[in-house]
Amino acid sequence: MTFINQWLRADIQDIKAYHVPKSEDMIKLDAMESPFLVSKDLVKPYLTFLSEVALNRYPNPSAENVQQTLRSLMDIPNELGVLLGNGSDELIQLLSLACETNDTVLSVEPSFVMYEMIAKFTRLNYQGVLLDDNYEINLGVTLEEIKRTQPKLIFIAYPNNPTGNAFDRESILAIIKESEALIVVDEAYYAYSEGSFLNEVGNYPNLVLLRTISKMGFAGLRLGLLIGSQDTIRELDKLRLPYNINTLTQASANFLLQEKEHIIANANIIIGERQRLFNELTAIPSLKVFPSQANFLLIKADDAKVLFEFLKNNGILVKSFAMNPQLSHCIRVTVGSPNENNEFLEQIKSYYG
């Protein structure tokens, strides 16, 4: 027995680490990243801006400038509060730390795996409620499970990852109204989605929104935000580590996120490519493609495992769900650049002959 084995919490030893596959030299369509780099004409002024940053000092502790930048990028009303995180993953952790030991976290399944993992790290119970066959919220069952398990926190990804659909709005509103939990609507994909709950946050004290810049071109910066009432944000802010948004991220966000028009134009390219991929893939009889409001598509294929390996051997990395019984015949493909999507389509067509 090693030192760490006898030292570490047994439940942590049992956890399977979050696996990030190797992707060097591959077309990377597995992690919902944007294919767009900082535009060429911005690189020089951006680097000049960074060169003036005081790296000898601690970062601005509350990063007010970044908050302002995000408010104007995302049209967040001034009466709402904003809490910044080192990615929205950190904010999921912060919300979980705000619960009491043995409280329950509830989410639907399949959904974002970090809700369950972080619940476990923070010694909370986790309750998953299965979505129906169309990956829609099963409202009756969900409300029953809420009543039975009295969750403290409920995570609803809107649109959902990995299924891509945005759940029925009325079902989410019913959950908000009928539960005493804090409801976290996770809008990681808001830039690609027709709907949002931003306008509802002021109407329900138990509703907060999670957003991130990761899925719209800035995954490398690690910056997410929680949007809620001023009261809620002020109290939760006590749990935030003082300098969680580093100086380079603050400076980069303040410089690069000013390009609102450009960011929206890039999102629109992805939305157009999503439609093109959807149409072309739907024309392949062996595939079922699920409608998506996000920058990825969930695709069902009887031979998903073989297809995944075929794509990988041909230099295209997608996400396989072989381990998940609800998704065992599915792959998830991020919408890439037009060229990347062409390559993906070419490979998948050659696979199906």
Name which of 281, 283, 279, 301 is nearest 347 in CA terms: 281
112 near ligand PLP (CB under 6 A):
yes
In the complex, what is the shortest distance from the CB of residue 210 to ligand PLP, in angstroms, rounded to a whole number? 7
What residues does 184 pair with on adjacent strands? 155, 208
164 near ligand PLP (CB under 6 A):
no
Nearest residue (CB) to ligand PLP, 212 versus 341: 212
87 near ligand PLP (CB under 6 A):
yes
Nearest residue (CB) to ligand PLP, 32 versus 108: 32
Binding to ligand PLP, residues 37-76 (CB under 6 A): none
Binding to ligand PLP, residues 224-253 (CB under 6 A): 224
217 near ligand PLP (CB under 6 A):
no
Name which of 292, 291, 295, 289 is nearest 330 in CA terms: 289
Near ligand PLP by CB under 6 A, which window of 82-90, 100-108, 228-236, 247-255? 82-90
Nearest residue (CB) to ligand PLP, 297 versus 348: 297
Near ligand PLP by CB under 6 A, which window of 67-75, 83-91, 243-251, 256-264? 83-91
Task: Return d(Cα 31, Cα 51) in angstroms, integer.
Answer: 31
Cα–Cα distance list, 257 to 72, 165, 193, 326 (Å): 9, 27, 19, 38
163 near ligand PLP (CB under 6 A):
no
171 near ligand PLP (CB under 6 A):
no
CA 229 vs. chain centroid, Å, equals: 22
In the complex, what is the shortest distance from the CB of residue 89 to ligand PLP, in angstroms, rounded to a whole number? 4
Name which of 102, 105, 138 is nearest 119 in CA terms: 105
In the complex, what is the shortest distance from the CB of residue 219 to ligand PLP, in angstroms, rounded to a whole number? 6
214 near ligand PLP (CB under 6 A):
yes
Nearest residue (CB) to ligand PLP, 106 versus 348: 106
Binding to ligand PLP, residues 142-161 (CB under 6 A): 157, 161
88 near ligand PLP (CB under 6 A):
yes
Task: Tell which one of 82, 117, 137, 188 touches ligand PLP (CB under 6 A).
Answer: 188
Nearest residue (CB) to ligand PLP, 142 versus 212: 212
Task: Tell which one of 33, 89, 116, 273 touches ligand PLP (CB under 6 A).
Answer: 89
273 near ligand PLP (CB under 6 A):
no
Structure tokens at 181: 């939990």
Task: Tell which one of 27, 186, 226, 335 touches ligand PLP (CB under 6 A).
Answer: 186
Structure tokens at 107: 């989410």
What residues does 2 pair with on adjacent strands? none
* Chain positions contacting ligand PLP, by CB under 6 A: 32, 87-89, 112, 157, 161, 186, 188, 212, 214, 219, 224
